[in-house]
Structure 1
Amino acid sequence: MKDVDYLIVGCGLASIAFCEELRAHNKTFVVFDNNSQKSSIVAAGLYNPVILKRFSEVWKAKEQLALALPVYRALEKELQIKVDYKLRILRRFTSIQEQNKWFTASDKPSLEKFLSTKLVKNTSAVIDAPFGFGEVLHAGRIDTETLITYYRNFLKQNGYFEEITFRHSQIEFVADGIQYQNIRTKHVVFAEGFGVKQNPYFKDMPLTGSKGEILTIEAPDLNIDYAIKSSVFIIPLGDDLYNVGATYDNVDKTNATTEKAKEELLSKVNTVLKCKYEVVNQVAGIRPTVKDRRPLVGQHAKHKNLYVLNGLGTRGVMIAPYVARELFQFVENSKSLDTEIDIKRFN
């Protein structure tokens, strides 16, 4: 019989951030993951403090960045890898009116730190951007696939990881906590992404799920080291490779790639790029999205040893460390959860 403080189900961005909270406070834990959820792995990984469609600030952007970036620096050091790539994000303008909206937004106190007031002119012959760009400051990209791969290996090497499917029906509620197979624990945290819809304890949460697909293209003539946001993102990966994405499908809940999504992305990227390119990869995953665009964090109404850490949507890179700390403080120190993320808001 193995005794741990926490049992965690899932190994995406939310789970990794929570594990780091546990390690920082010398808590013991074990993670169960069967690699069935792909949203964190296929994510673009951008941390971007601005909603570029509306030129407005991301919810709690300053607080999230202040927490998240030190976490990723520490993980790079611990795992001896590079995952945090500082990256200029240029918002492509389609008209003079959009330029004016950008400069108006940059005067707002909440956005002046994140929006450059200098118009960036297009200097590339293979990019169609006659109205230029606006630059987002304090942005970057986390290589989520590398991070998750190396973190899983780190957990395995230290005996913290079980690469098998978690069976919810085998949870036993005992006097001093929970027993699951040969593990005794005080708390179980479900960080299953869209997989939580199969969880009998939290399946009724208002998690809708949005399928996203991303292409990787090879474009030797593009030669840019910044990301472009237009009707799609074009994100440099190095070696003439770029991610193009993403789609939003609220009906299809499979991880299978589709020709429809590919055609949609190509039609959009063709409005921006005037160079030849080749599609070299396509991936898909289900984002755990919520109708009010806030995470789902909290405690089961009846079984007080069960918790959920979910609903990070499209901005998991930024949000994960924030919600992980909120949940840890709630469990360990009885600190009230932020009401905007507490699952009780849907009661």
Structure 2
Amino acid sequence: MELLVNLNIIYVNAHFLKWAFFIYHSVIDSNLFDIFVAMKEVDYIIVGCGLASIAFCEKLRANNKTFLVFDDSSQQSSIVAAGLYNPVILKRFSEVWKAKEQLTLAMPLYTNIENELKIKIDYKLRILRRFTSIQEQNKWFTASDKPSLEPYLALQLITNNNKEVDAPFGFGEVLHAGRLDTEKLITCYKNFLKCKEQLLEETFMYSAFQTNEVDVIYRDIKAKQIVFAEGFGVKHNPYFNTIPLTGSKGEILTIKAPDLKIDYAIKSSVFIIPLGDDLYNVGSTYNNTDKSNTPTVAAKEELISKLKTFITCDFEVINHIAGVRPTVKDRRPLVGRHATHANLYVLNGLGTRGVMIAPYVAEKLFELIEYNNSLDPEIDINRFG
């Protein structure tokens, strides 16, 4: 009996080795690995899950395209963004690039996400620009006469009646503005993708990635296209690490100020944005040399110092976060196709206005891929040669 058992073990092991030998040579000699491992096929692989990626996912969903998203939460710029959207550059009283087109696409998209996920993320919010002089008031009126700015700048100045705010010259109000809760959006959208088995929470390994003229293959996943929407993380991407993404670190404080009692945002030397329950976000800083996500004492002191120039009440700092924005020297997004790999694309460079820009560039990239529409030269990565 013992001899029979041993012979059976030898037979099973030999049988296993025979199949292992066959599989090995099939893979090496004819690349037939998918005979034994079923490949998961999708239309798109997307790397990254920030504002740009979510806008592109929604475009794919609207057009019945299948996709998988990879994200390892290494990039924080969308999470730590203040989330304000407004069509005016308040430092110079000038229109945001393509503001009308961006708002036309962005507002319905975020409403659709709210309805689909049954969450609230878009808060209509008055934004008041604090004037520091009569000259600034005059510049406001001059700007409001321009046809491109007239829909966005209220003509009537607002007098300050809050004793905790120092604003002797009053405010100008920006119209069609608001705040998107970007942290809630990204957290809930990731959960939404996980429920649909469309999110892989892991680092995308470039070394495990292959591409040819027909498709792209990543481990056991086959896709027609791959879109890299990695934010500043694209610097580690061997296919797109030469695009001129500079990066700008921003830091934001959350304060508690029970006596302030404002339900509008104020733009002065810094923004102060109401969150409810006497909480406010204060930001943001701009640091072009530090590329870490670590909050700094220097930035905290800078924000507190600037806030105290126009807020007179006491407050307590209860949170401090940082992230590196994917900024570009010409302040335009970076969108396009790889020079030699026709099914590799980049969606990046949203800078400080990702809430408004993301839906616009997502649509333009989708139209490039699916319909071969030309990109606006202002956003095409080829503008840098």
TM-score normalised by L of structure 1? 1.00
Matches within 5 A, 1:1-347: 1-174=39-212, 176-347=214-385
Once the two structures are TM-superposed, the CA of residue 168 in structure 1 deviates from its matched residue by 1.0
Once the two structures are TM-superposed, the CA of residue 169 in structure 1 deviates from its matched residue by 1.5
**SS of residue paired to 1:90:** strand
Larger Rg over CA atoms: 2
**Partner AA of 2:186 in structure 1:** I
**SS of residue paired to 1:331:** helix
Q: Which runs of 5+ in 2 are unaligned?
A: 1-38
Once the two structures are TM-superposed, the CA of residue 131 in structure 1 deviates from its matched residue by 0.3
1:301/1:174 CA distance change after superposition, 3 Å: closer
Give, in whole Å, the separation in 2 of the partners of 1:21 and 1:268.
40
**Partner AA of 1:108 in structure 2:** K
**Partner AA of 1:60 in structure 2:** K
Deviations 1:222-249 (A, max 9, x none): 0000000001000000000000000000
Once the two structures are TM-superposed, the CA of residue 115 in structure 1 deviates from its matched residue by 0.2
**Partner AA of 2:72 in structure 1:** N
- The answer to whether the 8 Å contact 2:213/2:343 transfers is no
Q: Which runs of 5+ in 1 are unaligned?
A: none
Give, in whole Å, the separation in 2 of the partners of 1:17 and 1:38.
17
Deviations 1:286-314 (A, max 9, x none): 00000000000000000111000000000
1:109/1:175 CA distance change after superposition, 3 Å: closer
Once the two structures are TM-superposed, the CA of residue 322 in structure 1 deviates from its matched residue by 0.2
Give, in whole Å, the separation in 1 of the partners of 2:206 and 2:348.
17
- Number of equivalent positions: 347
Structure 1 runs, 4 residues or longer, greater than 6 Å off: none
Higher helix share: 2
**Partner AA of 2:140 in structure 1:** W
**SS of residue paired to 2:44:** strand
Give, in whole Å, the separation in 2 of the partners of 1:175 and 1:289.
31
Give, in whole Å, the separation in 2 of the partners of 1:136 and 1:222.
21
Give, in whole Å, the separation in 2 of the partners of 1:132 and 1:21.
42
**Partner AA of 1:207 in structure 2:** L
**Partner AA of 1:338 in structure 2:** D
TM-score normalised by L of structure 2? 0.90
**Partner AA of 1:120 in structure 2:** I
Give, in whole Å, the separation in 1 of the partners of 2:188 and 2:379.
29
